């Protein structure tokens, strides 16, 4: 069994859908970083290759560091990346509503569907679980963490979207014969 300690990167303060846009994290709340560091086990750390996740993983300071992994990137919002919901809705009103209300095979223009994200992330997580560590810290993004909440709880994507995943929060996913999520969105 492996415990995945999934940490959402520090805040970017962007007020838009930010997927593959590479924005830095605001890690100025050193007390929050210290609490996060203390709440995590001594374990290998892997992060998305986007700078906000890399910087957060570096701030946590746990080692060993595994290579950054592009498969742990946030949802690729395609043409919606960098747009507010209102801007994307003005452009594609029916499509954006369907994307969030009936997630599955619907994708933003030039982006990924929820099922594509889930397949990508499941493959990456399976590779890390296969390493055989008892604990792994995964520093990633809202969508990445929700794919594994969905997997662990056996819920549909819409129900997964109902979970809040705050910046610098911990979500613990236990793998094995049965998967579970005993801790979701814990802010240390």
Is 9 catalytic? The answer is yes
Dihedral of alpha carbons 188, 176, 125, 133, sign: positive
Contact 72, 48 (CB under 8 A): yes
For residue 159, the SS3 value is: helix
Is 163 catalytic? The answer is no
What is the rounded radius of gyration, in angstroms, for the C-alpha atoms of the chain? 16
Annotated catalytic residue: which of 9, 55, 62, 112? 9
Annotated catalytic residue: which of 55, 74, 112, 141? 74
Contact 52, 19 (CB under 8 A): no
For residue 57, the SS3 value is: helix
The full 3-state SS of 100-134, as one line of letters, equals: HHCCCCCCCCCCCCHHHHHHHHHHHHHHHHCCCCC
Strand partners, 6: 138, 171
Q: Is the peptide bond before 64 cis (omega within 30 degrees of 0)?
A: yes
Residues noted as catalytic: 9, 74
């Amino acid at each position: 069994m492996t415990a995945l300690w999934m940490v959402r990167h520090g805040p970017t303060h962007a007020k838009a859908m930010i997927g593959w846009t590479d924005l830095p994290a605001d890690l100025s709340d050193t007390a929050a970083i210290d609490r996060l560091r203390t709440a995590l086990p001594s374990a290998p750390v892997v992060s998305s290759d986007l700078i906000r996740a890399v910087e957060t993983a570096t701030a946590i300071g746990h080692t060993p560091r595994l290579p950054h992994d592009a498969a742990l990137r946030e949802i690729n919002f395609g043409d919606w990346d960098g747009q507010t919901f209102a801007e994307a809705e003005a452009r594609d009103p029916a499509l954006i509503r369907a994307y969030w209300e009936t997630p599955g095979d619907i994708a933003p223009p030039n982006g990924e569907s929820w099922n594509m994200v889930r397949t990508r992330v499941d493959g990456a997580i399976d590779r890390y679980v296969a390493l055989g560590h008892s604990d792994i810290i995964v520093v990633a993004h809202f969508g990445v963490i929700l794919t594994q909440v969905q997997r662990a709880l056996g819920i549909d994507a819409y129900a997964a979207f109902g979970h809040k995943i705050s910046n610098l929060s911990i979500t613990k996913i236990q793998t094995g014969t049965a998967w579970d999520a005993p801790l979701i969105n814990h802010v240390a």
